[in-house]
Structure 1
Amino acid sequence: MADLFSPLRLGELELPNRIWMAPLTRCRTEIGHVPGDLMAEYYSQRASAGLIVSEATMAMEGHSAFWHEPGIYNDAQIEGWRLTTEAVHQAGGRIVLQIWHGGRACHPLLNGGRQPVGPSPLAITGDEVRTPEGKKPYVTPRELSDQELPLIVEGFRLAARHALRAGFDGVEIHGANGYLLDSFLRDGSNQRQGHYGGSLENRSRLLMEVLEAVSQETPLMGLRLSPLNSYNAMRDSDPIGLISWLAEQLNAVPLAYLHLMRADLLGQQLGDVLTPARERFKGVLVANLGYGAKEANAAIQSGAVDAVAFGRPFIANPDLPARFQANAPLSTADPTTFYSAGPTGYIDYPRLNG
């Protein structure tokens, strides 16, 4: 019977455990969205994870949603990320790059005045975005034309190619949390007509085209989805129907794993998305959101999921697998430093043995 500490085969990778590090935006890049030595230290400290999934990384220039998040669209960023991949590999770890397009969550003040884009001209409401001029309301995105969407697909394809050049073991497509691909998937944000709107098949078309293109560039491809998550003002009229249909379709592409947020961060949409995903998707299923070691272990032992990704616990506990193994107490992450600059609250959390 498998448990948290059992190895897991993922494509050509042999993972030593099933305790994954979830993608965590930390806003610590240098000028030009270039990763540096600080980020390399942060990730290498957490190399004992079964797999590290990097923070969301811009596939294309001009689509920043977090100010100091990383990119993978130019040579300086590729070389900057190489510092991280080499450090992680030297520490015995494995790491994939999460590639991403911020979509309507981007802001003109972060992108030289450029208006954000989305499936429909519907702005994110009820929240604000951090900018160099302080927090600002989100703006209404420009609706992408069907003719522009091949450029998005190409942007993801090139990002995957660049990730391999930077030394990553593979990529994860970010199809969650209200960013571009997720905003096409869900009917609360996608109200367009034509080939990319309306039916489930049409709303999923852009994602499936991205997956097909990216699969040609990398030996290992994962996908993150969040059908229930209402973050970034997201809704869907039938999230269970969405994941049930999509999980079946994903068997047609060479997907190494499906990384599924099991719940809504804000608690507004309820439902069970793991069960229909497990019933229909034939690959490795990874769950995320709110797990402790005991519940995660039980989920793996029961066969409900194959691995569990941990977010905040990995921020404050760089040696999380060792702490789980020893049943040791966990340090608590300081949310005031989640998106700040510098090493504080980033690389200074203590290890179990000092």
Structure 2
Amino acid sequence: MPDSPLDALWTPTAVGDIALPHRLAMAPMTRNRSTPDGVPSELNAEYYAQRASHALVVTEGTQPSAEGQGYPLTPGIHTEAQIAGWRKVTEAVHAADGRIVIQLMHAGRIAHPGNTPHGGQPVAPSAIRPSGTIFTASGLQSMPRPRELTEAEIADTVQEFRAAARAAVEAGADGVEIHGASGYLVHQFLSTNANRRTDRYGGSVENRVRFAVEVAAAVADEIGAGRTGIRISPGNPYNDIAEDDPRELYAALARALAPLGLACLHVVQAEDEELLDILRGLWPTTLMVNRVGAELAVRAADIAEGRADVVTVGALALANPDLVERVRSRAPLNTPDPATFYGGDEAGYTDYPTLAS
């Protein structure tokens, strides 16, 4: 083991086809700063380029279709204008010697008609309204009851992920991450409260993992398994999600995904250390772990002790564009400002100071 857990961060590795110079990566974070049409802007390009020294930049959740949008001012990757906007972002990151993957996120039932260009009813595995509210242009609103997807629509949604992955690579991304966590559509299919289907997509564990596996298989087939990752959050109740059987569920999901040879599994770890060990044993390629809120030394210890290959950080990367330099030199860190996390302009987005400034 290295003299300090932090030393484990600085050895090279790879995520599938993407060579990484070290093991400290940037987690995906919704920032609500795209245009109303879901087009990434020059400001977005500046934000991501500032953070290009992270081993890998995983972007904010990006809707694969108009129907997949949940929140206002989030980016898409399904129109020519959106692809062109993302190309500005990827070119800026690559010019700064970085590596970037676009996270594909269909919000499912965590949505509101006022936040989407089509103003339609949200869709979900089952027609079950989630508890809680969602931010819209007219303030906080209750989320409406979603419409249950038909099997034909599920197949169409899988193809939307495929097309979005192709568009992401066209835009210059090094790969994509499928968002299977945090209560959004893929996670809704995995759950036992949002998914009450009685067909081949609901009920048993094998049925509930089917959608996630079909999406991953389609994306990997389109752009290559070495450019495809998936993010999960076992036991995470965010966005009104319940899982009655997380160990059985996620072990089954890992076993079903393993033959695809995906680049990585990105685990947002909750409290179940035994499940993390199970996934470590089952997963054949790179395992990325995000311990939300943990000290960086604790995260690095996952690498030093073999529980993870790469660790990702969210708020630390948000507030410290030069986090890698700061950690290497043991410099003090900026404090994140939660008041500026979502929406707005450059304040709390591109104006966090670097050591050089």
* TM-score when normalising by structure 2: 0.95
Q: 2:316 aligns with which of 309, 313, 316?
A: 313
From 122, 127, 130, give the equivalent of 1:121.
Answer: 127
Local SS of the residue matching 1:192: coil
Residue of structure 2 equivalent to 1:204: 209
Whether 2:51 is the aligned partner of 1:49: answer no
AA at the equivalent of 1:233: D
Q: Does the 8 A contact of 1:262 with 1:273 survive in 2?
A: no
Task: Establish whether residue 85 from structure 1 lines up as the match of residue 90 from structure 2.
Answer: yes
Task: Structure 1: state its 5+ residue gaps.
Answer: 265-269
**Match among 319, 330, 334 for residue 331 of structure 1:** 334
Counterparts of 1:46 and 1:17, CA distance in 2 = 14
Which letter does structure 2 place at the counterpart of 1:281? W
In structure 2, distance between residues paired with 1:63 and 1:297: 34
Cα distance between partner residues in 2 of 1:169 and 1:245: 28
- The one-letter amino acid paired with 2:100 is I
Over the residues paired in the alignment, what is the CA RMSD in angstroms? 1.3
Q: Give the match for residue 267 of structure 1.
A: none
Gaps in structure 2 of 5+ consecutive residues: 3-7
Alpha-carbon deviation of 1:319? 0.8
Query: How far does residue 10 in structure 1 lie from its aligned partner after superposition?
Result: 2.1
Aligned residues: 348
| 1:222 matched residue in structure 2 | 229
Amino acid corresponding to residue 186 of structure 2 in structure 1? L
Of 28, 38, 51, the residue aligned with 1:23 is: 28
Asked whether the 8 Å contact 2:189–2:202 carries over to 1, the reply is: yes
Aligned-residue sequence identity (percent) comes to 44
Q: 2:238 aligns with which of 209, 231, 235?
A: 231
The one of 262, 268, 285 equivalent to 1:261 is 268
1:165-204 matches, within 5 Å, as 165-204=170-209
Which whole-Å deviations, capped at 9, do the CAs of 1:72-98 have from their partners, x for residues lacking one? 001000000011000000000000000
What secondary structure sits across from 1:196 in the alignment?
coil
Following the alignment from structure 1 to structure 2, what is the Cα–Cα distance between the partners of residues 272 and 140? 36
Work out the CA distance in 2 between the residues paired with 1:101 and 1:45.
27
**Structure 2 counterpart of 1:162:** 167
Is 1:60 the counterpart of 2:53? The answer is no
Mean alpha-carbon deviation: is it higher for 109-118 or for 25-34? 109-118
Q: For the residues of structure 2 that align with 1:73 and 1:95, how far apart are their CA atoms?
A: 18
* Secondary structure at the counterpart of residue 109 of structure 2: helix
Moved over 6 A (4+): none
The 2-side partners of 1:285 and 1:201 are apart by 22
Which residue in 2 is equivalent to 1:281?
283
Structure 2 CA distance for aligned equivalents of residues 62 and 237 of structure 1: 28
Q: How many angstroms does 1:271 deviate by?
A: 5.9
Task: Say whether the 8 Å CA contact 1:226–1:260 is kept in structure 2.
Answer: yes
Kindly state the Cα deviation for residue 20 of structure 1 after the two structures are TM-superposed. 0.6
| Aligned residue identity for 2:302 | A
Give, as a single letter, the amino acid of the residue that structure 2 aligns with 1:117.
V
SS in 1 for 2:253: helix
1:98 matched residue in structure 2: 103
- Write the letter of the residue equivalent to 1:335: P
Deviation at 1:5, TM superposition (A): 0.9
